[in-house]
Structure 1
Amino acid sequence: MPNNDIAYLLKFAPKEAYIDDLMNGRFYMNAAGYYHGLPGGQGDPLEASVVTGACIYGNYRLPIYCTYTVRKNETVNNYRHCNLNQ
């Protein structure tokens, strides 16, 4: 999917202070390996494992910054809309 159809990148955080840090230019990232075994179904054992020229788990130290992508076709008049039938 082409990148030129991205309307917004959203960041969700559990504390307002984390958003304040982000707005002040401070990014906090975990290594990819952190996400391999998170409890409660949140973990992604393949995070950063599919990278050109690398073996599986070869990039467990790569920093990961998670955002949610909103595509242009998911917006109406610059507002995100939800399709409840998905």
Structure 2
Amino acid sequence: MGKCANCGEALRPAWKYCIKCGMRVVQPEHDIPGAIRPEPGPARRKRPDPMLAFGAVMAVVGVALIVWVAIVVFTPRG
């Protein structure tokens, strides 16, 4: 079919919305020769997913906790 006018993602003919940015896909009934079409604007900057950021922080905390426990358990006591 073409590309999304908002983000440039490749679209399939059956799609009503872009799967990348969610913009409604307008499917013309027929192509009009010489029609003026808007040019796609600059790509919008996406905000990071908060759940992904939370998961990354929890992974770092988990690794730090495992290292701390390993040091406490396996350090010889004298």
Q: TM bucket by the smaller chain?
A: under 0.3
- Higher RCO, Cα 8 Å, sep 6+: 1
The answer to which structure has the higher strand fraction is: 1
TM-score, normalising length from structure 2?
0.23
The answer to which structure has the higher helix fraction is: 2
TM-score, normalising length from structure 1?
0.22
